[in-house]
Structure 1
Amino acid sequence: MKLFSPFEIKSIKISNRIVRSATYEKMADEDGFVTDKLIKLYVNLAKGGVGLIITGNVLVHISGRSAPKMICLHNDFYIEGLKKLTDAVHNEGGKIVIQLSHGGRQCASIFLHGRQPLAPSAVYEPVYKVTPKEMTQEEIWEIVESFGKAARRAKEAGFDGVQIHGAHGYLVNQFLSPYTNRRNDYWGGDEERRFHFLEEVYNSIRENVGYDYPVMIKLNASDFIEGGLTLEESLRIAKRLENLGIDAIEVSGGIVESKPDERPVRPKIDSKEKEAYFREFSKEFKKTIKVPIMLVGGIRSRSTAEDILDKNEADLISLSRSLIREPDLPKKWEKGKDTADCIYCNGCMRFMKLEHVKCTQLEKKR
């Protein structure tokens, strides 16, 4: 079975093709430091057979806090706790990559101590009900630098690589998308200039970690919103990233204000036909570039995952919600189980009401 064959991303030797896609946990403490609960979560994923773990979105700059109790990496103070986390995962034979993120306009002011969120342009955000502040040149360069410094800290903390969060309407995606980037300067105005922010972020990371260290990205194939990023442009972005030296691309789509059935976490995946809802996109990425492709989005069954790999429509299979319900799903798949227990009700996504992110269906059974 290809699903349980090894794979390599630069220096990372992965035991199988199963990736735990970045999933917000709400398990850091109030100041963003690692807790025992957070370490236990990642140890259980490693024990459960996940080939590569990608952390929940990690804060690179205080202006980008998009949720409470996020893991933080905007200061050297956080390295020590994160080293305990990576040591614990490595002791179980696991591999772990950290996702670097800035929320941009998708930040409620309550998470920013009342400050206005930052964005490429002052485009109203209807879900968070905020109009962000258009970033100055100084603010842009400060945040570019913050990605690089965070990557350096991640390497010092023992992470096997980093992933740039360039999807789901967060800051990097906001610069790439014509829907949210209305600038007419170095940072926007046409496709090439909209790419500059991501290019500078990538270069800043490489300056801090070198070219031997794995650097990946999560990328929207489409924003699923009028005037937003399209597949055609996204494929050209991927080609640019390949030329720069990106080590893997995780294909996703949608932003917070997309329609419910076009968002990154679509509900009610209750049939084979509804699974792998970004599959058609990953097929196009595989045709266009040679960089390893991860596919995320409602992949619920082993048979679907194997079919995707057998048809060379992706190199790795990313899971999120199903691993909240069953962190040991990879081992269960290996023993013959086909369909995950997760019913994709999205109860685990209502993080403001939960003490931490967890399967609410399991809670009901107890």
Structure 2
Amino acid sequence: MMLYDKMTINGMTVPNRLVRSATWEGLASAEGFVTPALEDAMLELADGGVGMIITGHMFVAEQGRAGERQLAVYADEYISGLRSMVKKVHERGSVIVAQLAHAGGQAAQAITGMPALGPSPFARKDGEFCQEMTENDIDNMVNAFQQAASRAVAAGFDGVQIHAAHGYGLSQFLSPHINKRKDMYGGSFENRMRPLVRVYEAIRREVGDKYPVTLKINCEDYAEGGLELEDSASVIQGLEMIGLDAVEISGGLLTNSPSKSSVRVGRFDTPAKEAWYREAARVVRERTKLPIILVGGIRSFSVVEGLLAEGLIDFVSMSRPLLREPDLLKRWAAGDLRRAECISCNKCFGVLYNNEGYFCPVAQSELAESAAAGTSS
């Protein structure tokens, strides 16, 4: 079973090929500090055998914060709590990677008290328009990523992941659907890629050549005039040439319909409906030798093993399925090869937005019904 193979990324030894893809757990404190509840969620994943845990998106600058109860890494005061969490994950046998993020024009203005800044003005999720970053603002964003990477190293994280997907800050620059600038950061593919290259180079200078630096990127935006696969593959190829260590392939924008977002809704209950970005991974594989992490609609053991055996990818990444079943890897290892129980309904997000916790309400409801049936019988 290839899923259980030990793997290495630039010196980081990962005990198996299963990755918990970054999400928003909504478990940090109001100020962005690690909480006992967030630690427990990470330790549940480690106890379940997940090889690599990627944190929820950690905001690198206060002005780049995406929402409430989001984990922070924009100041040194956060290092202690992060270090404690990382140490406990390591004690359980998993590696943990810090996802570094800036929300750009989708930043939570009501929380930060500062205007949201994007590559150019565009309509946000709330219908308001963000402001355009100046060149100085871009410099500040690059510096924020660099300093956040330094804090991740100080906290003991095994690597960092640059978040350039789903319509957040760096994704906004890459997308011609969003980025309408006329200067050195807009227009041509090379110009739209420039902020990401600058962020990568700044982080690499900070952490050195022997520390894993990875990327999460859309294969496509699935929006009219958005980032397309050819440009995405070229971004990956270009960053590989200057030292990138691995790439996670995702897709979709925050503003997309549920059928085209990164957290699609539906019953992906046959192998043909799974692995939404399978063909994108095939194209990237032809262009790069980087380790490829694939996320998006992967639910069954047979699909996982097929992707790995074909050589399309090196790691399989999940988020919602591991919220419902953090011990999915152990279940499969024990011989129970039923598909993941997640039904991709997104009801977990309702729980998160209402600050009710971090759990699958469908699973909780099923347990309650089962208990009630047992009592009545």
1:174-193 matches, within 5 Å, as 174-193=172-191
Q: Is 1:244 aligned to 2:234, yes or no?
A: no
1:355 CA displacement:
2.3
Secondary structure of the 2:71 match is coil
Residues 137-171 of structure 1 deviation map (CA, whole Å, 9 limit, x = unaligned): 11110110000000000000000000000100000
Aligned match of 1:70? 70
Structure 1 residue identity aligned to 2:118: A
Counterpart for residue 166 of structure 2? 168
Q: Secondary structure at the match of 1:195?
A: helix
Distance in 2 (alpha carbons) for counterparts of 1:93 and 1:5 = 15
1:205 maps to 2:203: yes
TM-score by length of 2: 0.94
- Other-structure match for 1:358: 359
Tell me what 2:373 maps to: none
1:120 alignment partner in structure 2: 119
Percent identity for Structure 1 against Structure 2: 43
Structure 1 match to 2:372: none
Whole-Å Cα distance in 2 between the matches of residues 124 and 86 of structure 1?
A: 37
The CA RMSD over aligned residues, in Å, is 1.1
- Between the aligned partners of 1:196 and 1:211, the Cα distance in structure 2 is 21
Say how many residue pairs are matched.
Answer: 364
Q: Paired residue for 1:298?
A: 297
* Most deviating of 335-344 and 92-101: 335-344
Matches within 5 A, 1:48-59: 48-59=48-59
**Structure label with greater radius of gyration:** 2
In 2, Cα distance between the equivalents of 1:329 and 1:156?
A: 31
- Using the TM superposition, give the Cα deviation of residue 270 of structure 1 relative to its aligned residue in structure 2, in angstroms: 2.7
What code does the residue aligned with 1:229 have?
L
In 1, the alpha carbon distance for the partners of 2:147 and 2:311 equals 36
C-alpha separation between the residues in 2 aligned to 1:292 and 1:128? 37
Whole-Å Cα distance in 2 between the matches of residues 332 and 61 of structure 1? 39
Which residues of 2 match residues 1-366 of structure 1 at below 5 A? 1-113=1-113, 115-125=114-124, 127-268=125-266, 269-338=268-337, 339-350=339-350, 351-365=352-366, 366=368
TM-score, with length taken from structure 1: 0.97
**Structure 1, 334-343 or 81-90: larger mean CA deviation:** 334-343
For residues 232 and 94 of structure 1, the distance between their equivalents in structure 2, rounded to whole angstroms, comes to 34
Q: What amino acid is aligned across from residue 362 of structure 2 in structure 1?
A: Q
Distance 1:129 1:64 in 2: 18
Which runs of 4 or more aligned residues in structure 1 lie more than 4 Å from their structure 2 counterparts after TM superposition? none
Cα shift at 1:44: 1.2
Q: Deviations over 1:246-303 (max 9, x none)?
A: 0000000000122221110111223322111111111111111000000000111111
SS at match of 2:240: helix
CA deviation map 1:96-131 (0-9, x unaligned):
001000111223422323x32110000122x22120
Distance 2:199 2:358 in 1: 29
Structure 2 unaligned residues grouped into runs of 5+: 369-377
